[in-house]
Amino acid sequence: MPTICIDGHNLALPRGTGIATYGRNLLQGVHALALNSAVLYGPNAKPSSDVVVNETSLLDGAKPKLSRTDKAVRKFKTFTMQFGRSAVSLGDADHVVWPGQRKPDAGEFWTSPSLFPMANRAFQWRRTMTPVSFAASSTSQPDLMHWTSPLPVFARGMPNIYTFHDLIPLRLPYVTTDDKQAFLDLCRKVVRKADHICVVSEATRRDVERILQVPADRITNTGQAVNLPTSITERPQQDIEIELENIFNLSWKGYFLHFGAIEPKKNLGRIVQAYLASGVKTPLILVGSPAWMHENETALLKRVLAEEGPGASLIRQYDYLPGDLLFSLIRGAKATLFPSLYEGFGLPVLESMALGTAVLTSNAGSLPEVAGDAAIIVDPYDVRAMTKAVRALDADEELRENMAEKGRVQALRFSEQNYHEQLRGLYAKVGLTP
């Protein structure tokens, strides 16, 4: 049975990301196709001859302190990255107790210490891609490497597929701190090295075709799937009502919700402005940690809170919440407000629709194709349109119920079954037939 390996670059992060969610869903899709799965990690740790120590490094966020000699060695290794790194197998990695649901559902774990940070250093320095070889192990080596984002790494001796989620640093250069030339150089190198390109939306497909000049037959849009366990979808409403009341002092369908990292693309500044201008008395719950360039997005909010303005008592912020609590908040919300400036896909929209919550989103990027006619769609730069939509969602229960009903139907278009069939077609294009 063929084995597909994905990178653990985002899976290793202590808090979830959209790409980490994508990676977990991808592993489940691989299993659904009756294929073996593996994950390649690149932890910030020195290699050890002890497999247990190597396994602990997968979850050890501590970065080793570098002496002057270590830094000199690192510089030399950066130069030699172009000649390749080796990955060793940890088997099924069953020595360490993984917290919560963080252990990826993979049959085998591979590690190549400091692979990703060193590969990035090498690319920044000399624009070189780092080749990786999988050392012989007691189990089978991977037959295909599926990178969950464009990384300056490729696997030797097998097809390489790279997923592009978006080209936002090039499409909206003012919302990221990336070195735009380096990002473009990386994308072009990855395109040349890839056996095939995977994208998650038609919007991203169009960007990759036009900006990176990739022929249409080298790109496959698999979309994404919303994977919500029955412990969330079938949980009794009464249980969630009790949880919302006792933990957050919130009532069922009695608040608006926005969730996501605080960075310019998410448009939090205009969301807060529209909410305050609407004059509604329904609380607004914000869930997300400050990320890059967040100062302008939170300026109005901080001013209102500091001055204890009229809407200050209605807005609450949480930097982070566990997944189960966040999903409870989504289910119980009057509506999710997600008028992003641009998204490669937009999982918050899909998750909200799948959980029966009305959605306000934008007409930018992939969001219209994800939302269909099941959401209120506005220009993300038009605060007046957002204000009007917030008032409508607050006052019109029939509108919200109609949105929720349509949303559940729209979410079925992104079912796991559909996603798995798209994956089957993707892998067939590089000669791997499940």
Answer whether residue 101 shows pLDDT above 60.
no
Q: How much is the pLDDT for 193?
A: 97
Domain identity same for 190 and 288:
no
How many domains does one find in the chain?
Answer: 2
Confidence grade of residue 184 (pLDDT, cut at 50, 70, 90): very high
Per-residue pLDDT, averaged over 72-90, amounts to: 81
CATH number of the domain encompassing residue 293? 3.40.50.2000
Q: How much is the pLDDT for 187?
A: 98
Q: How much is the pLDDT for 400?
A: 98
Confidence grade of residue 123 (pLDDT, cut at 50, 70, 90): very high
Q: Quote the CA–CA distance of 197 and 213 in Å, as a whole number.
A: 12
**389 found inside a domain:** yes
Domain identity same for 243 and 391:
yes
Confidence grade of residue 358 (pLDDT, cut at 50, 70, 90): very high
Q: Are 356 and 228 in contact (CB under 8 A)?
A: no
Give the range among 72-81, 113-122, 184-193 with minimum mean pLDDT.
Answer: 72-81
For 236-279, what is each residue's pLDDT tens digit?
999 999 999 999 999 999 999 999 999 999 999 999 999 999 99
Q: How much is the pLDDT for 139?
A: 63
CB atoms within 10 A of CB 182: 15
Domain identity same for 174 and 269:
no
Summary mean pLDDT of the chain: 91
Domain identity same for 354 and 391:
yes
**121 found inside a domain:** yes
Which range of residues forms the domain containing residue 174?
Answer: 3-225+416-428
Confidence grade of residue 120 (pLDDT, cut at 50, 70, 90): very high
Answer whether residue 73 shows pLDDT above 90.
no
Domain identity same for 251 and 147:
no
Answer whether residue 138 shows pLDDT above 60.
no
**433 found inside a domain:** no
Give the range among 58-67, 131-140, 214-223, 304-313 with minimum mean pLDDT.
Answer: 58-67
Answer whether residue 103 shows pLDDT above 90.
no
Q: Are 262 and 289 in contact (CB under 8 A)?
A: yes
Per-residue pLDDT, averaged over 11-38, amounts to: 87
Q: How much is the pLDDT for 419?
A: 96
Phi and psi at residue 266, to the nearest 5°:
-75, -15
Q: Going by C-beta distance under 8 Å and a sequence separation of 6 or more, which residues neighbour residue 376?
A: 358, 359, 360, 361, 389, 392, 393, 403
For the chain, the 3-state helix, strand and coil shares in percent, each to the nearest 5, are 45, 15, 40
Bridging pattern class, strands 335-338 and 130-134: unpaired
DSSP code per residue over 349-412: HHHHHHTT-EEEEESSTTHHHHHTTSSEEE-TT-HHHHHHHHHHHHH-HHHHHHHHHHHHHHHG
Q: Quote the CA–CA distance of 20 and 242 in Å, as a whole number.
A: 30
Q: How much is the pLDDT for 63?
A: 65
Answer whether residue 396 shows pLDDT above 80.
yes
- What percent of the chain clears pLDDT 70, i.e. is strictly above it? 93
Q: How much is the pLDDT for 292?
A: 87
Answer whether residue 385 shows pLDDT above 70.
yes
**258 found inside a domain:** yes
Domain identity same for 327 and 370:
yes
**264 found inside a domain:** yes
Give the range among 78-82, 110-114, 379-383 with minimum mean pLDDT.
Answer: 78-82
Q: Quote the CA–CA distance of 247 and 239 in Å, as a whole number.
A: 12
Domain identity same for 265 and 401:
yes
Residue type, 52: V
For 199-244, what is each residue's pLDDT tens digit?
999 999 999 999 999 999 999 999 999 878 888 889 999 999 999 9
**29 found inside a domain:** yes
Domain identity same for 262 and 203:
no
The packing angle between helices 268-278 and 295-307, to 10°, is 30
Q: How much is the pLDDT for 95?
A: 77
**338 found inside a domain:** yes
Between 168 and 46, the more confident residue is 168
Domain identity same for 300 and 398:
yes
Answer whether residue 61 shows pLDDT above 70.
no
Q: Quote the CA–CA distance of 153 and 132 in Å, as a whole number.
A: 7
**183 found inside a domain:** yes
Return the bridge partners of 337, or none: 360
Domain identity same for 64 and 114:
yes
Q: Please give the model's pTM, rounded to 2 decimal places.
A: 0.93
Domain identity same for 325 and 351:
yes
Domain identity same for 421 and 409:
no
CATH number of the domain encompassing residue 30? 3.40.50
Answer whether residue 31 shows pLDDT above 90.
yes
